[in-house]
Amino acid sequence: MNYFTFELIHQSQKSRARVGKIHTPHGVIDTPNFVAVGTNATLKALDSTTINNLGLQLMFCNTYHLMVQPGTHIVKKSGGLHTFMKRNSPIITDSGGFQVFSLAYGTVHDELKSRGQKKHDGSVIKISEDGVLFRSYRDGSPLLLTPETSIQAQKDLGADIIIPLDELPPYHIDQWQLRKSLDRTHRWEKRSLDEHKKNPKQQAMYAVIHGGIDIELRKRSCQYLSSLDFDGYAIGGSLGKNRQEMIDMLISVMPWLPYEKPNHLLGIGDLISLEQSIALGIDTFDSSHPTRCARHGLLFTTSGNLKILHASNKDSMEPIDKNCNCLVCQNYTRAYMHHLFKAKEMTGLSLASLHNVHFMVKLMERYRQSILEDKI
Amino acid sequence: MNYFTFELIHQSQKSRARVGKIHTPHGVIDTPNFVAVGTNATLKALDSTTINNLGLQLMFCNTYHLMVQPGTHIVKKSGGLHTFMKRNSPIITDSGGFQVFSLAYGTVHDELKSRGQKKHDGSVIKISEDGVLFRSYRDGSPLLLTPETSIQAQKDLGADIIIPLDELPPYHIDQWQLRKSLDRTHRWEKRSLDEHKKNPKQQAMYAVIHGGIDIELRKRSCQYLSSLDFDGYAIGGSLGKNRQEMIDMLISVMPWLPYEKPNHLLGIGDLISLEQSIALGIDTFDSSHPTRCARHGLLFTTSGNLKILHASNKDSMEPIDKNCNCLVCQNYTRAYMHHLFKAKEMTGLSLASLHNVHFMVKLMERYRQSILEDKI
């Protein structure tokens, strides 16, 4: 399968951190790398012609959202996601499972806040061995998400990397229920892989390792899924209720993943978690954190985070970051950005998002350089 | 005053329409031309680095809004509006009067709907011969708008073309009150001009012709204001309750304006009014209409307006306009734009705004060509 290969460039002498290159039909992804989230086939407030200039090598789109709107058949008719959204670099899509189960159970965060009460918003009609039947939030029409329909949807979307359907168990379940959920996830991932293999279409598929924060189950998941012919390994499911639980889990899990294949940490992108994960050998991670921060006026800089709405920026003629060569820092002052946010101008959201994505791209370049120099 | 000159290129043989060039310190404005409105020192959803590539030759910013946020002293400290917002082409600012009097009386539109009832939202504290005292909607602090403070504010902003303070009378007033208001406007415009002449700073000042739809008062206004040393003439005040009233007024007024100076029609930009006004000799007109339409999904094309949210666009692989070479039409389909609007993605608003502004720029080029060929 030479349309998708992982090339290991350097293994740090100091940690599990490593530098690599993932070769895909739409170009190279240098690793470790940050994957920006463009849920609805666009980053929020930025179009692809802008993003294509930023050097963002991998973008994450959400199958669940695209099934509901515009429908994956429309994307297929457009020639796939790359043509639809005019992106000329790699794309990864998820299975839709995370969103559907979040509707059913809430996220870990919701659950911790609500002490484990189940959400009942009526969107999920039925969960069975076959899959999940849910209602479109847009028009109420029923949609069936099974391993097979998820993969068919992801074939329509045509991303470079796709993900098998998994079950997202609630955080607060007992060992017996977690094991049952893991077994079903494994059956679903196998069915997804089988469906994918019928018609690979130059797509790669990453397995999703589950098991919550139960180390024995995580190990079992790694062992089972690495026995199947996946192209890479994502770490999903509940990553714990705080960063330390996640890091503890990753310390155990990372050595169990096939070393010669790329891996991905699902849904984590805050700067501290990211640095710690890189040292543990994570290759890519997706998160809407940098773009969401941007829309709330939290701008990343090489000397720490900047709250652009803070009054100290009101008459500051400095750029957001003196060390940044992005379009925003080359053209606009903090005073202007502060003004745009105060005046609630959408232009501010676009510029802030552009800056934070650019920051992440450059931060990743620096991390790769540090690994090459065995400093991480 | 050779930093601001109006060069007449061609007078149509068929109508009063004319082609000209306004030379300003920040470049040329080909006329007739459309002036996009960037109230808060940005077009909505588009930054200047994008606009600078569109060929939009003149942008309108609102002094009232910039006095309240960020304060004109901040813009001054930034080196003026051009530096603050990174615009390298001409800018025009208004006096702030229109917004302040809209707060006091409502707009003509409000008034027609409310049958002339006065608005009392408490923002305007006092109107006197000196000027208007009002409260900042942002922090409640009192702000004084007089001919002198308006011009000082516009000196801080540093636009290429500035506008004297005028009184915007309510639409429903009697002849005696309208005459009183016109006299005060003339006194204020004279004070504004005197203040401007103390320190021209390479800015040009356009008078604002008033008189509502009373032709005799309009004539008087033209006669008085053209006796003063203004660089151009804007037509303001109430332009009537419908398009026909405006056109009737313009038919009378246009011959009374100094032919050798540029003129401007304030706040009109719908496509029909614009075509009719050009034939009457209007050189420039500002309006937020094209960008506001864009944000509501109404896209301008060479074959008429397109409602992008209409279901017929759902799977259309056509660009918005086959004859358009803007970034949007060169890259995205109607299906993608439809999807962005359905998914309520800000990216859709940015792209739609970019397209409509580009459309206006090209439409104006075509009008100028038609006038050169005596077809209008």
CB–CB of B84 and A41 under 8 A?
Answer: no
* CA A295 – CA A272 distance, rounded (Å): 20
**Strand-strand pairing, B27-31 and B18-24:** antiparallel
Residue with tokens 């429908």: A71
Catalytic residue status for B94: yes
pLDDT number for residue B116: 47
The pTM (predicted TM-score) of the whole model is 0.95
A84-98, B164-178, B238-252: which has the minimum mean pLDDT? Answer: B164-178
pLDDT at residue B29, as a whole number: 98
How close does chain B come to A255, measured CA to CA in Å?
40
| CB pair distance less than 8 Å for A338 and B70 | yes
Distance from the Cα of B341 to chain A's closest Cα (Å) equals 10
Sheet containing B124-127: order of strands: B124-127, B132-135, B142-145
Give me the percent of chain B exceeding a pLDDT of 70: 95
**Residues A343, B40: C-beta atoms closer than 8 Å:** yes
Please state the rounded mean pLDDT for residues B156-179: 92
Residues of A with CB under 8 A from a CB of B: 40-49, 65, 69-70, 74, 77-78, 84-86, 314-315, 317, 327, 331-333, 335-336, 338-340, 342-343, 345-347, 349-351
Q: Is the pLDDT of residue A120 over 80?
A: no
CB distance B285 to B306 below 8 Å: no
Distance CA B339, CA B317 (A): 12
Q: Check pLDDT > 70 for residue B107.
A: no
For residue A151, give the amino acid letter.
I
Tell me what the pLDDT averaged over chain A comes to.
Answer: 94
* pLDDT value at A107 more than 70: no
| pLDDT for residue B338 | 98
Alpha-carbon torsion A96, A101, A103, A104, what sign? positive
Mean pLDDT of B15-25: 98
Give the one of A70, A78, A346 whose C-beta lies nearest to B349's C-beta: A346
Taking contacts as CB-CB distances below 8 angstroms, the residues of chain A near B46 are 347
Dihedral sign for Cα B77, B78, B81, B84, please: negative
Q: What is the pLDDT of residues B227-262, one digit of tens each?
A: 999 999 999 998 888 999 999 999 999 999 999 999
- Please judge whether B343 and A65 are an interchain contact, meaning their C-beta atoms are less than 8 angstroms apart: yes
CA distances from B64 to B97, B162, B236 (A): 8, 13, 17
Determine the pLDDT at residue B1. 58
Domain ranges of chain B: 5-31+62-287
- Which tokens hold the place of A311? 């009054």
Q: What is the pLDDT of residues A174-222, one digit of tens each?
A: 889 999 999 999 999 999 999 999 999 999 999 999 999 899 999 999 9
Q: What is the CATH number of domain B5-31+62-287?
A: 3.20.20.105
- Kindly provide the residue ranges of all beta strands, DSSP E only, lying in chain A, ordered along the sequence: 5-11, 18-24, 27-31, 33-37, 59-61, 91-93, 124-127, 132-135, 142-145, 161-162, 204-209, 232-235, 263-265, 284-287, 298-299, 306-307
| Residue B299, token pair as written in the block | 């896209």
* pLDDT at residue A111 in the model: 56
Question: Using the beta-carbon criterion (under 8 Å), do B335 and A65 form an inter-chain contact?
Answer: no
Confidence check: pLDDT of B152 > 50? yes
A·B CB contacts under 8 A = 112
Write down the pLDDT at residue B92: 98
